[in-house]
Structure 1
Amino acid sequence: MDTSPLESVIVDTGAHPDTCILWLHGLGADGHDFEPIVPELPLPPGAAVRFVFPHAPVRPVTLNNGMAMRAWYDFRALDPGRGEDHAQVGETVALIQELVARARGEHQRVILGGFSQGGAVALLAGLGEGPAPDAVFALSTYLPDADKAGIALAQRTRGLPVFMAHGSMDAVIPVDFGRRSARALQALGVDLQWHEYPMPHSVCGDEVRDLGAWLTPLLPG
């Protein structure tokens, strides 16, 4: 029986996958949102990877007039770092770290990432004390306030491979939030790769290509 804490969409690129990539969607989407991107990633031929796309819980979102939707945490105002429900951020980080721990028991390598709100959770889950992924990618997002979320940052983050990418025309999470987060990560000593693209709050082909190139050397040989 599946006892996973979250329902998920699962896509395998080969038999007996030795790598698990946990990919968290953005606010109001679901686990199917990035499912079509799997065949677009330029991964090595024959790479056996399990992509896990969890569905966030359904909850009211204050920013959207209290409408219930899939959300990793409530946004009271679109003011990253201050507008989040920090208690929910901390609870979700713990939930995602549980998924990381489960994946670690079944796979040689675990990579955690996400887009927008999902990317914010991925960053904190990857940097915080607790079960740790081998690498993190964060798309069109920012690093939430760890102290307000009750999360202690881990010493093991030094040298952690991190891929961040952002659209220079992003009107939802302005690129400056991403740039500031990138500087904060560099101060923590992570092995950061930063990219900007002329796009809005979205994903583009060049970004998918660059993400695939970053992922490739992280996969077991």
Structure 2
Amino acid sequence: MSASTIRKYSASVIFFHGSGDTGPNLLEWVRFLLGRDFDLSHIRIVYPTAPVQKYTPLNGQLSNVWFDRRSINIAAMESKKSMSQCYNIVQQLIQNEVDQGIPLNRIIVGGFSMGGALALHTGYHLNTDLAGVFALSSFLNRQSVVYESLASRESANGTLPELRMFHGERDTLVPLEWGRETFESLQKLGITGTFTPLGNTLHELKKSSLLELQKWISIKLPALQTDIQNKL
């Protein structure tokens, strides 16, 4: 393949799956709902897979999870050791994009369920220079390090990534109230964005929210002049 035929991207989206899933499965779920891939030709969509590790809510069984939880409850404490190991994986994923010439302000992170929580940690604790964060059916623990991190930088200069959250009104695994509480707590610490309840929706992805995300991503990460020239 010649250099001129290698597809060039000017922005990236890293989309984290939920607990027990994989990147390829999440990609297929998106394709099933949309009937296609995301229509973002100049943006590379990355669907990474979490490592296999013991997961306490499953009685210590092995599962593809980004981090361990003591329990699936907003009042539970975060496992700092598990989170720190996860951070190393995330930072490498972001570095992979930077190494390919994508600046931090042209990268959006997001995810479903546990993946959305990881995206919140990524954009508001690990790296606040990203372009945006989205979370679908997700929440942060009330004593999350994310809140501590944001509170400690309240007076610092710089714009924090914009946030988009979506949550099913009939979600029984992660109640709507947990998602709303998380969003409102982040708002109080300077995060701007929107929280969208999804009617008649369980703990699942929906086509409507994916289409909204696609529109938002295209606005946050518009095509550059070089992308337009490459199409000519």
TM-score range, shorter chain: 0.7 to 0.9
Q: SS of the counterpart of 1:111? A: strand
Structure 2 CA distance, aligned partners of 1:165 and 1:142? Answer: 11
Q: Which has the higher helix share?
A: 2
CA distance in 1, matches of 2:70, 2:76: 9
Q: Tell me the equivalent position of 2:204.
A: 202
Deviation at 1:219, TM superposition (A): 1.8
1:134 alignment counterpart: 131
**CA–CA distance in structure 1, aligned partners of residues 157 and 37 of structure 2:** 28
Task: Tell me how far 1:125 sits from its aligned partner.
Answer: 1.1
Aligned length: 205
In the other structure, the counterpart of 2:91 is: 97
Task: Please list every run of 5 or more consecutive structure 2 residues that lacks an aligned counterpart in the other structure.
Answer: 1-5, 224-232
Q: Are 2:116 and 1:119 equivalent residues in the alignment? A: yes
State the alpha-carbon separation in 2 of the partners of residues 135 and 218 from structure 1. Answer: 7
What TM-score comes out, normalization by structure 2 length?
A: 0.78
Q: Which has the higher strand share?
A: 1
Task: Give, in whole Å, the separation in 2 of the partners of 1:185 and 1:150.
Answer: 7
* Contact 1:94 1:125 (8 Å CA) reproduced: no
1:68-97 deviations in whole A, cap 9, x for unaligned?
011111122221351542321233134313
Alpha-carbon distance between aligned partners in 1 of 2:161 and 2:128, rounded to the nearest angstrom = 14
Aligned to 1:182: 183
Q: Find the aligned partners of 1:157 and 1:29 in 2 and give their Cα distance.
A: 35
Task: Tell me, yes or no, if structure 1 residue 31 matches structure 2 residue 23.
Answer: yes
Matching residue of 1:146: 144
The answer to whether residue 190 in structure 2 is matched with residue 193 in structure 1 is: no
Q: Give TM-score, length-normalised by structure 1.
A: 0.82
CA change 1:175–1:150 in 2 (3 A) is closer
Identity %: 26
Within 5 A, what are the aligned runs for 1:11-26?
15-26=7-18
| Whole-Å separation in 2 of the counterparts to 1:41 and 1:151 | 37
Gaps of 5+ in 1: 1-13
* 1:170 shift after superposition: 0.5
What are the Cα deviations for residues 87-113 of structure 1, in whole angstroms up to 9, with x where unaligned?
A: 212331343133223313322411111
Q: Which has the larger radius of gyration?
A: 2
- Cα pair 2:164 2:194 within 8 Å, conserved: yes
